[in-house]
A and B are shown apart, each in its own frame.
Chain A
Amino acid sequence: MSDQDISQIAHLMRRAGFGAPLEELQARAAKGYDATVDELLDPESQPAMERDLMMRYKVDWLSQAGLEGQQEEWTFRMINSKRPLQEKIALFWHCVLVTGHAKCEYPKQQSMELDMFRTVGMGSFHELLKGLSKDPAMVFYLDNCMSHKGAINENWGRELLELFSLGVGMDGEFNYSEDDVKEAARAFTGWTVTNSIPRYPYGKYDAKFMFDPRDHDAGEKTFLGETGNFNGEDIVDIIVKQPATARFVARHLYNFFVADEPQVPSWKDTPPRDIEAIKMLEEEYFRSNYNITSMLRVLFKSDFFKESTFAKIKSPAETVVGTLKLVGDFKFPRPGLDLMTMNIRYMGQDLLNPPTVEGWHTGREWIDSGTLVERINFTADQVGNINHTGVKDIIGRIGGTGSVLTADQLIDGCLENLGAYQLADETRKQLVELASSEGEIRSDSEGFPLQVATMLQSIVATTEYLFA
């Protein structure tokens, strides 16, 4: 097994999951890259989360009645799921098909939406859009329950086209007109949710999707050039066969899994950074009948993906979850996880509560002077804690390479254990100076664990470690 094999698997696991400790990377590399991709794309082949255990100890995870508990539960899943891509795809869709806690009557509705993303989100985009159109969290969030026959509310119709499927435009042209928005909104009238049971005295109950035929505008509509007595499902049928939808899905997948693209609002006029890659994904979208797993298989096995190492800035969720996986903390439910998940919020990504329906701006916009400090402080605190089992393992592995280590050996060992990271020459030079400043590095010395921990802290504070 070569360093290249480990490096490629580390890259895959950062993107298709949340990273992995070195021993897992080695085991996956031994199985092979393609076999690992196939396993990730077949989550049912791996054990599900042990929800009974989770809810036994964290009793509020059963009712999902509050944002903090939901964020904890999802973070726990992301750290521990044997189906990492399932959680990653849920995060992906949460960042695209946005609902927010700030406008959610009952937090559990969003957890139910995440469950849909975990399953339907890896299947047909056609089914996903239909599910989303009937998702009570979405129907409430974008006011479709307030859209009535003869008095439409355009919110859902507009965002469905602008942010959830076609996008404003591509190749300099608009993808839809204002009339299309209105006609879509007409078609979805009558798609609503049941009146909910009030919070007092026993807590909320989930609302159900319901179709009210009396409130549905069954008249003729013209939408994207087609005319008929369309309802909501007809609108989705028309949307998914548009080239713009293929572009939209392909570009979002590329932006999330491959390399940072410009922010979504500029996509109409800004071409993709790799149009050939986008075309491959578009072709697979239509060939597979809009299947997301098929598109991901093409993506993960492509050269453009394999060559995209460190082309993305990690999101706050990826940063926190990846770090906790690495240091081996919170493998079992225990108190204190809420303090960890708060760091995702402090770094700018309040999971389940995005700032707007557009979700979060990504890439370099994750980083500002405040979030950078949060990021470095958090990761440095974690990897510098030599009581963490994952950190102990790293110290043991590096120490096992010899009784006396050079500065380069110490740095290389840390980089490998952090996930085959690479450093710019200038950064490396500074770290060599740091490692050499305290004399000989002996793995049998009392101070060795701290030397390793200090080097790990120094690496996670570099610009290079911001990237995945």
Chain B
Amino acid sequence: MPTEISHINVQYDKTIGRGEQFGPGFNYPVFVARGQDDIMYVLCRGTEFRPEGVRVTVCTTDEEYVSTFARGINYQGPHEFNMEDGSLVWPTCIALDSQENLFISDEWLNRISSFSKDGDFLGKWEERTGSGDGELDRPSGMAFDADDNLYIVDSGNHRVQKFSKDGKFLFKFGTEGSGDGEFNMPWGITIDSHGDIFIADWRNDRIQKFSPDGQFLMKFGSSGSGEGQFDRPTGIAVDRDGVIYVADWLNNRLQVFDQDGKFVAEKTGEAGVSKWAKDKLDANAEMWGERERAQGLEREKDFWGPTGVTVDDQGRIFVPESARNRIQVYKTQSPTFAGPRL
């Protein structure tokens, strides 16, 4: 056996969270934003019939609960929404600007709301539903570039638009289709250290890469469940070494690619009992007994509905699972050697 050197080695680190309508825990988490120090902001999509579960949970990577802010909307009728400032209906993504203010996309209200890191409502871009320049139709993924300009995946219009932080339209790229530079209901976005833009082209089951000015650079992926194939990729992230991570939603896995888009590894889930989960189980001690008697407990490890992926500057990868109300954390390792002694 020849000695192989793998420069990309992704290993399970830990699990964060538990299902909770209020307080420490998550409710259909769809995105994680990493703040300064150990702070993380977890966007909980919740449901419309329990709007109190729609929120941002703030906690640390060590699972210390900090706070909750923003809220869902109570509505009086199927067409009568209370669209108060600071309300969320279908929140999809958080983008942090250079001051760590949170910008949250809402793909029902077609609204971008902003909050301070302490949860104070700062403002919103006036709703601009439509398909013209600067107008939005189901804004989903968002990412700030190094100049504090905001790229928004305008999913219903099958394009990406770039705005200044105060909402001024700068430019757009992409149209509906399956050719190079075309999209079919794209979702996630990330910007790498060179300023290049990666888009999870959701219904085309592929990833596309663009230059900062929107020029198509490369693509990879196709429909399926094999290595390098996708079933509706939702989130994408690129680490400082250019390694690409994709939340492969309906295949229930995290896929890892090198900077050329070559498949490296997949992770189907290794979740364990998180700190908050242990607290919950300790408070409901009979559950420990039920777990001991349960058949198929190993299924608890598996991803279910990975809807986003975020990397931090420590090489940790955060994958929220909307259907499991938790975040699986992985980390990249230094180069490893496999085979006989060198």
Task: Write the nearest CB–CB distance from A70 to chain B, whole angstroms.
Answer: 12
Query: Bound complex: CA of A337 vs CA of B304, how far in Å?
Result: 25
- Asked if A198 is an interface residue, CB under 8 A from chain B, the answer is yes
Say whether A338 contacts B296, CB under 8 Å. no
Q: Is the interface of B mostly helix, strand, loop or mixed?
A: loop
> Could you say which residues of chain B place their CB within 8 Å of the CB of A198?
287, 290-291, 294
Contact B305 A63 (CB under 8 A): yes
Contacts of A437 in B (CB 8 A): none
- Given A197-B291, A337-B78, A202 contacting B19 (CB threshold 8 A): yes
- B274 is an interface residue with CB less than 8 A from chain A: yes
Known contacts A60-B28, A202-B324; is-contact A197 B47 (Cβ 8 Å): no
Q: A196 contacts the other chain (Cβ, under 8 Å)?
A: yes
Task: Please tell me if the beta carbons of B81 and A200 are within 8 angstroms of each other in the complex.
Answer: no
- Interface residues of A, dominant DSSP: loop
The answer to whether B28 touches A201 (Cβ under 8 A) is: no
Q: Which residues of B contact A329 (CB under 8 A)?
A: 78
Instruction: Say yes or no: is A194 at the interface (Cβ < 8 Å to chain B).
Output: yes
Determine the residue in chain A with the shortest Cβ distance to B109.
Answer: A335
Q: What total count of A-B pairs have CB within 8 Å?
A: 113
Interface 1/0 per residue, B162-199 and A, CB below 8 Å = 00000000000000000000000101000000000000
Report how far A63 CA is from B325 CA in the complex, Å: 11
Evaluate whether A59 and B295 lie within 8 angstroms (CB atoms) in the complex, with A200-B284, A203-B323, A339-B77 already known. no
| Chain A CB within 8 A of B341 CB | no
User: Quick check: B294 and A338 within 8 Å, CB to CB?
Assistant: no
B89 CB within 8 Å of chain A: yes
- Do residues B78 and A336 form an inter-chain contact, with CB atoms below 8 A? yes
CB contacts under 8 Å to A, within B191-211, are 202-203
CB nearest neighbor in B for A64: B323
> Chain A nearest CB: distance from B305 CB in Å?
5
- Whether A197 and B297, one on each chain, are in contact in the complex, defined by CB atoms closer than 8 angstroms, is yes
Residues of B contacting A205 with CB < 8 Å?
296, 299-300
User: Closest CB-CB distance, B24 to chain A, in whole Å?
Assistant: 11
Take A59-B28, A62-B323, A201-B277 as given contacts and tell me if A340 and B271 are in contact as well, using a CB distance cutoff of 8 Å.
no
* A227 interface residue per 8 A CB criterion: no
Q: Which residues of A contact B276 (CB under 8 A)?
A: 201
A52 in the interface (beta carbon within 8 A)? yes
A200 near B287: Cβ-Cβ < 8 Å: yes
Cβ of A57 within 8 Å of any chain B Cβ, yes or no, is: yes
Decide if B161 is an interface residue (CB 8 Å cutoff). no
User: Is B280 an interface position by the 8 A CB rule?
Assistant: yes
**Which residues of B74-130 are within 8 A (CB) of A?**
75, 77-79, 81, 89-90, 107-108
Contact with A along B298-315 (1 / 0, CB 8 A): 011000110100000000
Please tell me if the beta carbons of A202 and B77 are within 8 angstroms of each other in the complex: no
Is B250's CB under 8 angstroms from A208's CB? no
Closest Cβ of chain B: how far from A466's Cβ, in Å?
23
Docked-complex contact A340 and B291, CB < 8 angstroms: no
Which residues of B in the span 43-89 have a Cβ within 8 Å of any Cβ on A?
A: 45, 47-49, 75, 77-79, 81, 89
* In the bound complex, CA of A202 to CA of B305 (Å): 13
Minimum CB–CB distance from A434 to chain B (whole Å) comes to 27
Closest to A204 in B: B19
Contacts of B326 in A (CB 8 A): 201-202
The CA of A221 and the CA of B157, in the complex, are separated in Å by 66
> Which chain A residue lies CB-closest to B234?
A56
Which chain B residues border A63 with CB–CB below 8 Å? 304-305, 322-324
State A366–B43 Cα separation when bound (angstroms): 43
| B253 at interface by CB-CB < 8 Å | no
| Closest chain B CB from A462 CB (angstroms) | 25
Tell me, rounded to whole Å, the shortest Cβ–Cβ distance linking A187 to chain B.
24
Pairwise interchain contact B284-A339, C-beta atoms closer than 8 A: no
Q: Are A336 and B79 in contact (CB under 8 A)?
A: yes
Q: Chain A nearest CB: distance from B213 CB in Å?
A: 29
A197 touches B296 (CB 8 A): yes
Residues in A with CB closer than 8 Å to B324 are 63, 202-203
The smallest C-beta distance from A71 to any residue of chain B, in angstroms, reads 10
Known A-B contacts A63-B304, A194-B296, A335-B89; the reply to A201 vs B323 at CB < 8 A is: no
Q: How far is the CB of B273 from chain A (nearest CB, A)?
A: 7
Does chain A have a CB within 8 A of B18? yes
B194 to chain A, nearest CB (A): 30
The residues of A that contact B75 with a CB separation of less than 8 Å are 335-336, 339
Q: Which residues of A contact B281 (CB under 8 A)?
A: 200-201
Q: Inside 8 A of B47's CB, which chain A residues have their CB?
A: 59-60, 66, 68-69
Query: How far, in Å, is A371 (CB) from chain B's closest CB?
Result: 20
Q: Which residue of A lies closest to B294 (CB)?
A: A197
Q: Say if the beta carbon of A241 comes within 8 Å of chain B.
A: no
Please, which residues of chain A bring their CB within 8 A of the CB of B304?
Answer: 62-63
Is B158 an interface residue when CB atoms closer than 8 A count as contact? no
Distance in Å: Cβ of A210 to nearest Cβ of chain B: 8
Q: Is A369 an interface residue (CB 8 A)?
A: no
- Beyond A196-B294, A340-B78, whether A201 also contacts B19 by CB under 8 A is yes
**A334 on the interface (CB 8 Å rule)?**
yes
Assess the B203–A52 pair: CB atoms within 8 A: yes
In the complex, chain A residues whose CB is within 8 Å of the CB of B300: 197, 202, 205
Least distance between B91 CB and chain A CB atoms (Å): 11
* Residue in B81, B202, B297, B307 whose beta carbon sits within 8 Å of that of A335 in the complex: B81
Contact of B232 among A52, A60, A66, A337 (CB under 8 A): A52
For residue B3, give the distance in angstroms from its CB to the closest CB of chain A: 40
Which of B294, B296, B325 is within 8 Å of A202, CB to CB? B325
- State whether the Cβ of B246 lies closer than 8 Å to any Cβ in chain A: no
Contacts of B284 in A (CB 8 A): 200
Q: How far is the CB of B108 from chain A (nearest CB, A)?
A: 6
Nearest Cβ distance between residue A272 and chain B, in whole angstroms? 41
List of A residues within 8 angstroms of B107 by Cβ: 57
- Complex formed: what's the CA distance from A45 to B277 in Å? 46
Which residues A15-52 have CB closer than 8 A to chain B? 52
Tell me the residues in window 349-399 of chain A with beta carbons closer than 8 Å to chain B beta carbons: 387
Question: Is the Cβ of A201 less than 8 Å from the Cβ of B18?
Answer: yes
Q: Please judge, given known A-B contacts A60-B28, A202-B326, A203-B323, whether A195 and B48 are in contact too, CB under 8 Å.
A: no
* B153 on the A face (CB < 8 A): no
Q: How far is the CB of A338 from chain B (nearest CB, A)?
A: 5
Tell whether B30 is near chain A: CB-to-CB under 8 Å.
yes
Given A201-B280, A202-B271, A208-B296, A62:B322 Cβ within 8 A: yes
10 contacts between A and B (CB under 8 A): A52-B250, A56-B187, A62-B323, A197-B291, A201-B273, A201-B276, A203-B19, A205-B299, A335-B108, A336-B78
Interface residues, chain A, CB within 8 Å of chain B? 52-53, 56-57, 59-60, 62-63, 65-66, 68-69, 194-203, 205, 208, 210, 329, 334-340, 387
The 6 A-B pairs of least Cβ separation, nearest first, read A336-B78, A201-B277, A201-B18, A63-B323, A194-B295, A198-B290
Given A202-B300, A202-B324, 15 more pairs with CB closer than 8 A: A59-B30, A59-B323, A65-B323, A68-B49, A69-B47, A195-B294, A197-B299, A198-B287, A198-B290, A198-B291, A201-B280, A202-B271, A335-B108, A336-B48, A336-B79
